[in-house]
Chains A and B, each alone.
Chain A
Amino acid sequence: MSRKTLEIYSVELDGTKDTKQTDQEDDKKYNDLDLKKSHQKEELKRELDLDDHKLTSEELEQKYGTNIITGLSSARAAEHLARDGPNTLSPPKQTPEIIKFLKQMVGGFSILLWIGAVLCWIAYGIQYVNDKSASLDSVYLGVVLALVVILTGIFAYYQEAKSTNIMASFSKMIPQEALVIRDSEKKVIPAEQLVVGDIVEIKGGDQIPADIRLLSSQGCKVDNSSLTGESEPQPRSAEFTHENPLETKNIGFYSTTCLEGTATGVVINTGDRTVIGRIASLASGVGSEKTPIATEIEHFVHIVAGVAVSVGLLFFIIAVSLKYQVLDSIIFLIGIIVANVPEGLLATVTVTLSLTAKRMAKKNCLVKNLEAVETLGSTSIICSDKTGTLTQNRMAVAHLWFDNQIFMADTSENQLNQAFDQSSGTWASLSKIIALCNRAEFRPGQENIPIMKKVVVGDASETALLKFSEVILGDVMEIRKRNRKVAEIPFNSTNKFQLSIHETEDPEDKHFLVVMKGAPERILERCSTIMINGQEQPLGKSNATAFHTAYMELGGLGERVLGFCHLYLPEDEFPESYPFDVDAMNFPTSNLCFVGLLSMIDPPRSTVPDAVAKCRSAGIKVIMVTGDHPITAKAVAKSVGVISASSETVEDIARRCSIAVEQVNKRDARAAVVTGMELKDMAPEQLDEILANYSEIVFARTSPQQKLIIVEGCQRQDAVVAVTGDGVNDSPALKKADIGIAMGIAGSDAAKNAADMVLLDDNFASIVTGVEEGRLIFDNLKKTIAYTLTKNIAELCPFLIYIIVGLPLPIGTITLLFIDLGTDIIPSIALAYEKAESDIMNRKPRHKKKDRLVNHQLAIYSYLHIGLMQALGAFLVYFTVYAQQGFWPTSLINLRVRWEKDELNDVEDSYGQEWTRYQRKYLEWTGYTAFFVGIMVQQIADLIIRKTRRNSIFQQGLFRNKVIWVGIASQIIIALILSYGLGSVTALSFTMLR
């Protein structure tokens, strides 16, 4: 059994195999695995051969060479520290900054441009060898290309670094300290110096500094929610209660918190060898998926690079066969590559993404990885953790039962809207019991804080009751003061009740009031009467049945139910001075009067149901994956709409029709609740079937490993999977998911580190905003790319025509760069500000293999329709300039060779005038400028075309996106500066136009 459970936590990257495997197969399987993997696995396995929870104290002492009373000696501790290393989690491997930087330098189009630059220099080298006075033009071009690559690389690196830095603040951990017994002395030492065998003491509020085996405990409770997802505090004691080290009560886990009580324990594992440490290393072992947008951009780069290289090579061959010199042909090749590559696009995409990231950060979605911005938009499945994400991660009163009626309480974040009937006399009694039979207290000094935000000392359910009564009754402390407590029996697991005895409010009334709460069936056993409408009635059979029905119903909602009863002690038997003795129980604890039931739940966040509904209408499947119990999970799922009101599980149908579960047609059920145990025995095919066939799925009682399996299962369906989570247990799944979303407030550092996005307000609804932004950015990126691609044809045609027809070059390579990196940048960023054209939240998520960012429609529309028109338009301008200066279009054909010959200074134009080389060159530059302006002006028109893809421009509104106009203005201003301001700088080859 122990072995089997351990399997779940072992590192097994191919999660699908994990489920198949049985204990018997283990050895065989190891042979199949490659060496490294099996080594890793075996190592982890050995460490998890944890039997410390079964050992007695003496055996423990022996095993770790320690002494329970005196602790380790300092020398011994130092020895252990040297052997095992400090008690910290080793941080995930960071890619060195320089590698990140270099990656930016060679990624995407950069490699093409590098090739271009190097070819430029080689060309110059050859020219220089042949002729020492060769012009430096190609050197300039090479330098400019290199600069472009370096600058865009630096820019992208800076953007990435900026978004990483935001996260750096998160990973800062508060240094922890631990109270340890060494050399018979209690010492406070930094937690990282703990070693195996140390005796540590923990108390309420501490974080457990390492995996410890408890030796003694006084009312110790721990919060394991970050490990298992259970939101209820788990009691801890020194007894061995379960074979499974994760379930047994005598082990406390590293990084969980002790909520109350005190305990002493011996450290059994430190650092990366702790359970948390292993999960963390599981997370770092999981390769994160390439983001969809990265795939899309890669796809786009491939298309463009393919076109560039093939057109370039084709024309290289054509040029060579047209008897151009190889050197010239290389220059053409460079020109074609430069014309084809949208140099500014990747920078634009980065800016666009970071703008969206900023916008999302304002809406409390902090994006760690810029590309994740879009991923959320293409998400088709969200695997959400329950505790803390869908729910508020606290207990709250959900239902009350008194007067034979179930009342609903407000479980929203502020609980101000308590709408149940409070006029009944029963409620008066019940509320008194709730207020009095409660040991929780507000921490002092919080007068001005809203009730729900006040910090309470006490466990979760007592806190819930305290806040509930504070909201309804007003100052509970004052009520308690008026009803002085004379005796009290705190809750313990054998009694399963809590009792206290109070004086009554009325100074005249000398009665004592006994109030009691506890497990409903135990409370009912102690009652002989029941209060209905404020009147005590004998507890008959019908009342008992009503009680059971209500109890079952509330329990069925996954709620924790408490029973409440009271008794006024007769004045004569218990006078004012009566000495109540809690141990002797010298007062009646039976034949009480039953007042009511109250049930509590970790309530869903109020914004969640709406958000889930929105996700659903956006075609996103929401799957709940939780470590909590199936009943609770299902109840929460129903209340937030993960399982919608109308759908049933197979079990529901079976119950409704009173037939066996096996007889139900599985196709009838839309919802499914799958537990971790079921999942474990499932083949991947079965999991796939479940994921494909049910639209509403809840996975309960799952381990971190299984979360990973579920995510992988979803990814096998070609879905883009988002995983939300806060606990360490979620981190492997967060990493594996296409986009991991961690909770900012409740989230553990491990989760935040593994995630791509952090929700600062822990609100599931923020995800919906994220989805919306993600979809919008995808649409807008499409527009941006279409806009950018259009001019490629206009940039490419000049070179092709130049080679084939022999016109003087219509536009220079450097001038092209001024379009790509000058006039076009701001307008293409401006498209990112475009509003959505229709309700993007009403359509299905895009299919990651079918709806590409750049599909052939877009490419053909850009290249062959608009692009061609643009090229023709620009050529028209070019011909106009030449014709007005004396060279008619017909005279330009095949003029290239004579035009470019430096010694030829009397080239005749259509009017018989003769031109020197420099005069021609100047005219050529004028041509460049004209062509440039031609493209620029048409790009303005293109920008307005690209504003919309489906709507008409008037539907979308010409002036709604102000940034577009800023973009247009910038285009014009840059062009004016280039042509009139820098017209005299010859290297830029711009001239004034008239």
Chain B
Amino acid sequence: MRRQLRSRRAPAFPYGYRYRLDDQDEVNQNYLADEEEEAEEAQVLVVPDLEEEEEKEEEERSQGQPIGNAWWQKLQIMIEYLWDPERRISLAQTGQSWSLILFIYFFFYASLAAVITLCMYMLFLTISPYMPTFTERVKTPGVMIRPFAHSLNFNFNVSEPDTWQHYVISLNGFLQGYNDSLQEEMNVDCPPGQYFIQDGNEDEDKKACQFKRSFLKNCSGLEDPTFGYATGQPCILLKMNRIVGFRPELGDPVKVSCKVQRGDEDDIRSINYYPESASFDLRYYPYYGKLTHVNYTSPLVAMHFTDVVKNQAVPVQCQLKGKGIINDVISDHFVGRVIFTLNIET
């Protein structure tokens, strides 16, 4: 196509002083053709060919037209390149070659998409929807606390409800799922102190054990709707990350213990844990996965900091303790432990 274009154009633009080795041009074009690098579609490809344009411009210039005209002509050539009404050519391709190009590309990409879809399908055939293929990345559970509002620093002023109101709202929201009525309706009351193992097929729906909001006593928000924030005795709930198939080892429930991370041990003075055992009961394990274990509610341990030192930042580290629990990974501060700061002003 390009060749045609050139040879058609050549007589229309008598070269000024610019001589060209005509035979050489031709020879090289033959060579180009023979060079034809890539698959056939490449030959008919249409990327706006800058070089071609440049050449045209050059030819244009060599005519020695006044500059004002040259711009206009350039524009015209540009427009003609985009759409040449005379030959019904756009971007140096006829409608036919355009449709061919589009067809080839459509075909190529469609088959590519088909292959990829097939591969993805095969991938899903190998993946169980109930049990992750590999679990080594999350073998040991991480720990998170509630309320969580973007930050692990609890800064609030007891006398200014605005500074702690959002904690209360967050906790209330979080505990909605633990409401006694809801739990009693959805979940079963299973015997404490032992795993709640449900054999059967993978795809059977599993039952979940109740964890009632009332288990949290003073931190349930039932008696004190401000979770102690109004009195400078904040409640913080601790939650162990769910892991499919995780069981605390040897029937020993995982315990929670908090202390000052850095500084004076006495800054906290006293913590009340709810449930009082400060542990996650075995009956909440194992977890069978989102698909079948629909109503599973993560067990919680509430820490009630009743007499923490005021007007200073107290870094608190809460760790999980139990057999097989790792809580001292240097690179990950949330595996088996959580660190947060309490800074309560009065």
Residues of chain A whose beta carbon lies under 8 Å from any beta carbon of chain B: 380, 619, 685, 688-689, 692, 716-719, 782, 843-844, 846-847, 849-852, 855-861, 865, 868-869, 872, 876, 879-880, 883-886, 888-889, 903, 905-906, 908-919, 922-923, 926, 949-950, 986, 994
B45, B109, B296 — which one has the most chain A CB atoms within 10 A of its CB?
A: B45
**A-B contact sample (11 more), CB < 8 A, given A885-B134, A888-B127, A913-B287:** A692-B19, A846-B31, A857-B37, A884-B133, A905-B143, A912-B290, A913-B242, A913-B244, A915-B138, A922-B137, A986-B331
**Do residues B332 and A856 form an inter-chain contact, with CB atoms below 8 A?**
no
Q: List the A residue with the shortest CB-CB distance to B242.
A: A914
Spell out B's residues near A (CB within 8 Å).
17, 19-22, 24-25, 27-32, 34-39, 42-43, 45, 47, 49, 51, 55, 108-109, 112, 116, 119-120, 123-124, 127, 130-135, 137-138, 141-144, 148, 150-152, 239, 241-244, 287, 289-291, 293, 296, 329, 331-335, 338
CA of A856 to CA of B134 in the docked complex: distance in angstroms? Answer: 45
- With CB as the reference atom, state the residue of chain A lying closest to B119: A876
Residues of B within 8 A of A718 (CB): 20-21, 24
Report yes or no: A689 in contact with B24, Cβ–Cβ below 8 A.
no
Tell me if B133 and A856 are in contact (CB < 8 A). Answer: no
Q: How far is A843 from B31 in the complex, measured between Cα atoms in Å?
A: 7
**B32 and A850 within 8 A (CB):** yes
**Among A692, A876, A919, contact of B332 (Cβ-Cβ < 8 Å):** A919
Whether the Cβ atoms of B241 and A914 lie closer than 8 Å is yes
Q: B55 CB to closest chain A CB, in angstroms?
A: 8
Name the distance in Å between B183's Cβ and chain A's nearest Cβ: 18
What are some 27 contacts across the A-B interface (CB < 8 A)? A692-B22, A716-B19, A717-B21, A846-B31, A847-B31, A849-B55, A857-B38, A861-B37, A865-B38, A868-B112, A876-B120, A879-B120, A879-B123, A883-B124, A885-B132, A885-B133, A888-B127, A905-B142, A911-B291, A913-B287, A914-B142, A915-B142, A916-B332, A918-B329, A918-B331, A918-B335, A919-B335
Which A residue's beta carbon lies closest to that of B132?
A: A886
Contact B120 A889 (CB under 8 A): yes
Q: If A861-B37, A884-B127, A905-B241 touch, does A844 touch B31 (CB 8 Å cutoff)?
A: yes
| Given the contacts A858-B37, A913-B244, A883 and B127 also touching, CB distance less than 8 Å | yes
The answer to whether residues A876 and B123 also contact, given A868-B112, A905-B241 and a CB cut-off of 8 A, is: yes
Report A889 CB to chain B, min CB distance, Å: 7
| In-complex Cβ contact of B47 among A380, A843, A856 (8 A) | A856
Taking the closest CB of chain B, its distance from the CB of A235, in whole angstroms, is 44
Contact between A856 and B127, CB atoms less than 8 A apart: no
Residue of B nearest to A917 (CB): B334
Measured in the bound complex, the distance between the Cα atoms of B51 and A876 in whole Å is 38
A884 touches B108 (CB 8 A): no
Which A residue's beta carbon lies closest to that of B105?
A864
Cross-chain contact A914 with B144 (CB below 8 angstroms) = yes
B37 touches A994 (CB 8 A): no
Contact B293 A912 (CB under 8 A): yes
Is the CB–CB distance between A844 and B28 below 8 Å? yes
Closest A residue by C-beta to B29: A850
Contact A851 B31 (CB under 8 A): yes
Q: Which A residues are CB-close (under 8 A) to B332?
A: 916-919
A903–B150 contact, CB under 8 A?
A: yes
The 4 closest A-B pairs by CB, nearest first: A912-B290, A916-B142, A918-B332, A914-B241
* Cross-chain contact B289 with A860 (CB below 8 angstroms): no
Closest to A716 in B: B19
CA of A688 to CA of B37, assembled, Å? 33
- Bound-complex Cα distance A918 to B138 (A): 10
Cα A994 to Cα B43 with chains together (Å): 43
Cα–Cα, bound, A865→B45 (Å): 12
State whether B244 touches A844 (Cβ < 8 A): no
Instruction: Report the minimal beta-carbon distance from A778 to chain B, rounded to whole angstroms.
Output: 11
**Do residues A380 and B331 form an inter-chain contact, with CB atoms below 8 A?**
no
Question: Which residues of the partner chain B approach A717 to less than 8 Å between Cβ atoms?
Answer: 19-21, 24
Closest to B47 in A: A856
Question: Which listed residue (A860, A906, A908) contacts B42, Cβ 8 A?
Answer: A860
Contact B116 A872 (CB under 8 A): yes
Q: Chain B contacts of A850 at CB under 8 A?
A: 28-29, 32, 51
Contact (A380, B24) CB under 8 Å given A913-B132, A919-B332: yes
A98 to B254, CA, bound (A): 67
Residues on the B chain within 8 Å of A918, using CB: 329, 331-335
Q: Are B243 and A914 in contact (CB under 8 A)?
A: yes
**Nearest chain B CB to A274's CB is how many angstroms away?**
38
Residues of chain B within 8 A (CB-CB) of A888 are 127
State whether B24 touches A856 (Cβ < 8 A): no
Residues of chain A lying within 8 A (CB to CB) of residue B108:
865
Q: Which of B39, B134, B148 contacts A865 (CB 8 A)?
A: B39
Q: Give the residue name and chain of the B residue nearest to A688 (CB).
A: B19
Q: Is the CB of B37 within 8 A of A912?
A: no
Q: Closest approach, in angstroms, between the C-beta of A975 and any C-beta of chain B?
A: 21
User: Which B residue sits closest to A689, measured CB to CB?
Assistant: B19
Report yes or no: B112 in contact with A911, Cβ–Cβ below 8 A: no
> Which chain A residues border B141 with CB–CB below 8 Å?
914
CB distance from A837 to the nearest CB of B (A): 11
Query: Chain B residue with minimal CB distance to A692?
Result: B21
Q: Which of chain B's residues have a CB closer than 8 A to the CB of A949? A: 37-38
Give the distance in Å from the alpha carbon of A869 to the alpha carbon of B119 in the complex: 13
Interface centre among A685, A852, A905 (most CB of B within 10 A): A905
Q: Which residues of A contact B142 (CB under 8 A)?
A: 905-906, 914-916, 919
CA distance A852 to B51 in the complex (A): 10
Whole-angstrom distance between the Cβ of A132 and the nearest chain B Cβ:
15
Give the chain A neighbours of B55 by CB distance below 8 A: 849
List chain A residues, Cβ under 8 A from B38.
857-858, 860-861, 865, 949
User: A923–B134 Cα gap in the complex (Å)?
Assistant: 11
Looking at A855, A872, A912, A923, the one whose CB has the most chain B CB atoms below 10 A away is A912
In this complex, which of A689, A855, A913 has the most chain B Cβ atoms within 10 angstroms of its Cβ? A913
**Shortest Cβ gap from B177 to chain A (Å):** 14
Q: Is the CB of A911 within 8 A of B27?
A: no
Which chain B residues lie closer than 8 Å to A913 at the CB level?
A: 132, 135, 138, 241-244, 287, 289
A883 to B144, CA, bound (A): 24
Q: Which residue of A lies closest to B243 (CB)?
A: A913
Contact B45 A857 (CB under 8 A): yes
The answer for the CA separation of A460 and B135 in the assembled complex, in Å, is 91
A619 B27 Cβ-Cβ under 8 A: yes
Known: A857-B42, A860-B42, A872-B112. A847 touches B24 (CB 8 A): yes
Distance, CA A676 to CA B243, complexed state (A): 92
- A782→B37 CA distance, assembly (Å): 10
Tell me the smallest distance from the CB of A857 to a CB of chain B, in Å: 4
- Chain B residues lying within 8 Å of A926, measured Cβ to Cβ, are 137
Q: Are A869 and B112 in contact (CB under 8 A)?
A: yes
B137-A843 in contact (CB<8A): no
Contact A911 B42 (CB under 8 A): no
Considering the chains assembled together, what is the distance between the CA atoms of A916 and B108 in angstroms? 42
Q: A911-B290, A917-B334, A949-B37 are in contact. Are A905 and B123 (CB under 8 A)?
A: no
- Chain A residue contacts of B239, Cβ below 8 A: 906
Instruction: Evaluate contact between B137 and A919: CB separation under 8 angstroms.
Output: yes
A876-B119, A917-B334 known; A906+B241 contact, CB < 8 A:
yes
Whether A905 touches B32, Cβ cut-off 8 Å, given contacts A858-B38, A910-B290, is no
Nearest CB in chain A: distance from B143 CB, A: 7
Which residues on the A side are within 8 Å of B47 (C-beta)?
856, 859-860
Residues of A within 8 A of B296 (CB): 912
Query: Which residue from chain B places its CB closest to the CB of A847 in the assembled complex?
Result: B28
- Report the Cα distance A865→B112, complex, angstroms: 10
Quote the shortest CB–CB distance from A271 to chain B (angstroms): 40
Decide if A919 touches B138 in the complex (CB within 8 Å): yes
B43 lies within 8 A of A849 (CB)? no
- Minimum Cβ distance to chain A for residue B121 (Å): 11
Q: A879 to chain B: which residues have CB within 8 Å? A: 120, 123
Given A718-B21, A884-B127, A885-B132, also A857-B43 (CB < 8 A) = yes
A924 CB, nearest partner CB in chain B, Å: 11
Contacts of B127 in A (CB 8 A): 883-884, 888
Chain B CB within 10 Å — which of A858, A911, A986 has the most?
A: A911
